[in-house]
Amino acid sequence: MIESLRWEQFLRRSRDVENITPERKELVQKSAPALSECHIVYVMNQVGVWGGVKIIFEQANRLVELGAKVTIISHFDRPRWFKLNAEYKQVPFGMDVGEALPRCDLIVATYYHHIYECVKANAAPVVYFEQGDRHLFDYDRLSQGEIDFAYKQFQLADFVFTVSKPTADLIKKYYDRDAAVIHNAVDHQNFNATGSKFAWDAPYVLIMGSDHVEFKGVKDVLEAFKLVHQVYPHLELLWISTSEPAADISQIPGVGKVFVQPSQQDIAALYRGAEVFVAGSHYESFSLPVLEAMTCGCAVVTTKNVGVLEYVVDGSNALLAEIHNPNSLAEQMLRVIGNEELKHELVQQGLLTAANFEWSVIVKKLAEYYLHCASYSIPAVQGLDEWDIYVSQKDFLNNADYEKFTDVLTKTHSDTIEVPKLYNQWLEHHDMGRWEIAARKKNTFVKAKERIFCVVKGNPNIMDVYQGGLDLFRQKHYEQALAVFLRNTNEASDPKYKAVFTKWVILCLIKLEKDEDALNLTREAMKMHPDYTDLYYLYVVLSKLTGSSMEYNQEIHLIHSLGDSIHYPEFFFHTDALHKSYALTYNAFQA
């Protein structure tokens, strides 16, 4: 369900890019901020166990150590597999990441789908950090629509940088953008040749990657190992993967063990103990595992993908095999296995190569580049006096949100600005948010509306826009309120407003102690509005109220994953925390 929601969001963004009308304003150069005064925001597509993700986290941590303020924004939970020192902000799936951007000096989009969202926010210059994907390395297999979409995204970014010259060449070839090159680096504290080796009863070949991901070439390496195992039947294969393998490893002779998402320290120990590390990638922009293996004193066999050609010299610091060619991989593996002289040479030259990719050197180049990009700013296009503003500074929950709000007013091309107003008088222990107009440009008709997630305290005496239903509910006239909300539900043409009214019908039924009716209605409503988190929360509450024996783990997972439904006109704040504090919120549902 979550994946389908994300695809719908992608399609919406794709249409938005097609309909861009105002061109990007020319950036204004200013004096570069000191790194200690620079706020850098990384916008991330995902935060799972991937080499590209690890590089971003390493960058963030190293920049924090140098004194920068770094915030990472993603739709997903804060990762537990990496010790992250930067500030982390999870954004609900219903919100574009651009809407969640804080005030900052620089935005780093780490996946091209996010470039438009970041640029549209007009918050700061946007750098696109390209680490390579099928839009570069599988270009001939893209549809024309995918090519057009990627091309437009590349044109929107203010700056582009990548991790290798071959990747920069492809960016120029396909998308006509010049890209700065700043190499990746290895964490030499974890990855080095002096630490402990993994203890295994037999000599082993080490591989890394998921066989669910075709371009990693794991299937090619497994086929190659079968050939090698015929020559060296005592040799085994150990496999590091981000997920359980699709292949039945019991059917592959010599496969000793699969390590799913091991720690960085365990990966280093596995490198050190291996006879050879084998990488079969069809493409990489800068192959980090190959460099990590070299750093740990492990001989390497790898395919000739463009990423390793940045630092691999065939026959000197690694052996190169043909891409998509198990026989070539097997041939190179057989060259090094049992040949101690060649193995020693590869290891020594690999260590010398890896020494050139220290984070202490790379992060200084990165900081210098980011400060250069941050020395530009987005110019204002109008003053605050051109707006009718309906909120004041004291209404905002914090001053940072107020500053963001006023900053947007001076730079936006929209005519109307909405913010979420917080109300805590409607249902005990429950904060609710409702999107309301906070500013409207003077002497203009509404052409373009923009939402900014800057929370404002709502006026408890606000006019009831629900035809009196809300006032009746607050006065505990639940039967009358139910009739109003049922009428609202039937008359609503907007599906999202229909979902909001249905929620209030459910709340009225609960107050009237018609819990079974409320539970049945909630089940039906979840089918109609599968991305409205409030309904999943009410389902969990009602399951407890009715003593239902049905499992609701999936609903709890969706509450946690989707986050607050801020893409709806009205929503519960902190829904994930609400379901965890059921003992506190139980009284709110009593008549």
Taking a C-beta distance cutoff of 8 angstroms, is the pair 118, 97 a contact?
A: yes
Both tokens assigned to 271: 């490198």
Predicted confidence (pLDDT) at residue 581 exceeds the cutoff of 90: no
Give the per-residue pLDDT at 8: 41
Give the per-residue pLDDT at 14: 46
Residues facing residue 128 across a β-bridge: 109, 160
Predicted confidence (pLDDT) at residue 147 exceeds the cutoff of 90: yes
Where b means 16+ CB within 10 Å and e means fewer, 443-462 reads eeeeeeebbbbbbbebeeee
Among residues of the chain, what percentage have pLDDT more than 90? Answer: 73
Predicted confidence (pLDDT) at residue 93 exceeds the cutoff of 90: no
More confident residue, 119 or 11: 119
Confidence of residue 504 (pLDDT cuts 50, 70, 90): very high
Predicted confidence (pLDDT) at residue 215 exceeds the cutoff of 60: yes
Cα 299 to Cα 351: distance, rounded to the nearest angstrom: 10
Give the per-residue pLDDT at 463: 64
For each of the domains in the chain, give its residue range(s) and CATH number, in order of start: 36-181 (3.40.50.2000), 204-354 (3.40.50.2000), 384-589 (1.25.40.10)
More confident residue, 133 or 182: 182
DSSP sequence for 235-287: -EEEEEESS--SS-GGGSTTEEEEEES--HHHHHHHHHH-SEEEE--S--SS-
pLDDT in tens, 558-571: 998 899 999 999 99
pLDDT in tens, 169-192: 999 999 999 999 999 999 999 999
Give the per-residue pLDDT at 252: 86
Confidence of residue 36 (pLDDT cuts 50, 70, 90): very high
Predicted confidence (pLDDT) at residue 166 exceeds the cutoff of 80: yes
Tell me the one-letter amino acid at 185.
Answer: A
Tally the residues of the chain.
591
pLDDT in tens, 290-344: 999 999 999 999 999 988 998 999 999 999 999 999 999 999 999 999 899 999 9
Taking a C-beta distance cutoff of 8 angstroms, is the pair 110, 129 a contact?
A: yes
Both tokens assigned to 510: 């609960």
> In sequence order, which residues have a C-beta less than 8 Å from that of residue 145 and are 6 or more positions away?
14
Give the per-residue pLDDT at 552: 83
Tell me the one-letter amino acid at 192.
Answer: N
> In sequence order, which residues have a C-beta less than 8 Å from that of residue 362 and are 6 or more positions away?
182, 183, 184, 185
Residue keyed to tokens 């994300």: 6
Cα 280 to Cα 163: distance, rounded to the nearest angstrom: 20
> In sequence order, which residues have a C-beta less than 8 Å from that of residue 348 and are 6 or more positions away?
none
Give the per-residue pLDDT at 7: 35
Backbone angles phi, psi at 565, to 5 degrees: -85, 65
Nearest to 132 by CA among 106, 150, 145, 120: 150
CB atoms within 10 A of CB 361: 12
Confidence of residue 585 (pLDDT cuts 50, 70, 90): low
Among residues of the chain, what percentage have pLDDT more than 70? Answer: 93
Give the per-residue pLDDT at 13: 44
Residues facing residue 441 across a β-bridge: 387
pLDDT mean over 502-510: 96
pLDDT mean over 480-499: 96
Give the per-residue pLDDT at 24: 65
pLDDT mean over 206-225: 94
Average pLDDT, whole number, for the chain? 90
Taking a C-beta distance cutoff of 8 angstroms, is the pair 199, 273 a contact?
A: yes
Give the per-residue pLDDT at 544: 86
